[in-house]
Amino acid sequence: MTRLPLALTIAGSDSGGGAGIQADLKTFSALKVFGMSVITALTAQNTLGVQGIYDISPEFVCQQIDSIFQDMGADAVKTGMLSNSSTILLVAQKMREYKVGKLVVDPVMVAKGGDRLLKEEAESTLKEVLLPLCLVVTPNIPEAEVISGISIRSLREMKEAARIIHQKGAKNVVLKGGHLEGNQSTDLLYDGQNFRELSAPRINTANTHGTGCTFASAITAYLARGSGLEEAVEKAKQYLTNILELSVSLNIGKGVGPLNHLANLYTLNKK
C-alpha cells in the first residue's frame, strides 16, 4: 500500500486561520500531503493584526519534534515563526539530529500588519544557525533586506541580495518579489550559480494574508511528494497564483483577508 507523503511545519499558530500553522496544514491537504505540526507560539490574531503572542517553551517545541520523528518521520520540513534565539537553536539541533535534508526555512520576521514575530536579538541566530541547514530559504523583500543588509528596490538588487544570502549558507534562495511595483510579481530562485525568474501577473486583491506561509508550505509539499527543488518552486508559484485568483471575492474579516487554500482543490489535483 502506498502511503501519503509526510510534511511537517514548525511554526506559530494564527487564531484567524489565515497564516502560520493553519495555512500550512490547509496547503498540505490541498496538495495531497499528510500534514503534521509543531507549534512554536500561539498568537491572538485576525485580519486586522496581531493582538497577542504567547511563546511555547523551546523544550516543549523539541518534545513535539521528537514525538513526530520517533514515530512517523517527515519527507520534508518547513519552519516559519520561531520567535526567539532559544527556539531557533534547539530546532536547528533537532534538524541535525534527525538528518533533515529537505528543510524549507521561511524566515518569518514581521506580520503583514507590522507586528514583530521574530525578536531582533534572534535575527543573527537565524542567519548563523538555521540558514546553513536549509535546502532553501524563502524571504520576502523586507526579510531579505534584514538578512543581506542591503536595500532592495529592483530586480538587480534582488539578485545581489540573493547572492549575499547564499553566501551565508543557504543552499538555495527563493527571494519573493511581491513587494516591488509592477504588473508582474517576479520571484527569484538562486542556486549559487544560476538565477531562475518566476513571474506571474500581479493579482489585484486585498486577500493576501498568509501568502508567504502558503508559498513556503507549498514548496515543502511538493518536495515531500518527490519533486526536485526547481519543479517544487515552480508548482508552488502556480498554486499560490491560482488560489490568489480564486480568493479575490472571499471577503473574510475587516482587514487583510486570508486565502481560500482549498479553492482549486479539485482542478489542481486533476493535473
Q: What is the 3-state secondary structure (H, E, C) of 190-228?
A: ECCCCEEEEEEECCCCCCCECHHHHHHHHHHHHHHCCCC
Please identify which of the residues 40, 208, 214, 241 carries the catalytic annotation. Answer: 208
Long-range contacts made by residues 56-60, C-beta under 8 angstroms, separation at least 24?
A: 56/87, 58/84, 58/86, 58/87, 58/89, 58/90, 59/90
Q: Is 220 a catalytic residue?
A: no
Q: Are 33 and 7 in contact (CB under 8 A)?
A: yes
Backbone angles phi, psi at 226, to 5 degrees: 105, 0
C-alpha–C-alpha distance, residues 162 and 72, integer Å: 34
Q: Is 62 a catalytic residue?
A: no
C-alpha 151, offset from chain centre = 22
Please identify which of the residues 18, 80, 177, 212 carries the catalytic annotation. Answer: 212
**Residue 52: count of CB within 10 angstroms of its CB:** 10
Please identify which of the residues 47, 211, 214, 241 carries the catalytic annotation. Answer: 211
Q: Is 213 a catalytic residue?
A: yes
Q: Which sign does the torsion angle of CA 59, 43, 174, 237 carry?
A: positive
SS3 state at 232: helix
**Residue 224: count of CB within 10 angstroms of its CB:** 27
Q: Is 257 a catalytic residue?
A: no
Backbone angles phi, psi at 94, to 5 degrees: -70, -35
C-alpha–C-alpha distance, residues 233 and 222, integer Å: 8
Pure H helices in 98-210: 123-125, 141-148, 155-167
Please identify which of the residues 213, 220, 235, 257 carries the catalytic annotation. Answer: 213
Please identify which of the residues 26, 78, 102, 176 carries the catalytic annotation. Answer: 176
Q: Among all chains, which residue has been given the C-alpha cell 501519503?
A: 4
Q: Is 212 a catalytic residue?
A: yes
Please identify which of the residues 20, 210, 220, 241 carries the catalytic annotation. Answer: 210
Give me the active site residues, please.
Answer: 176, 208, 210-213
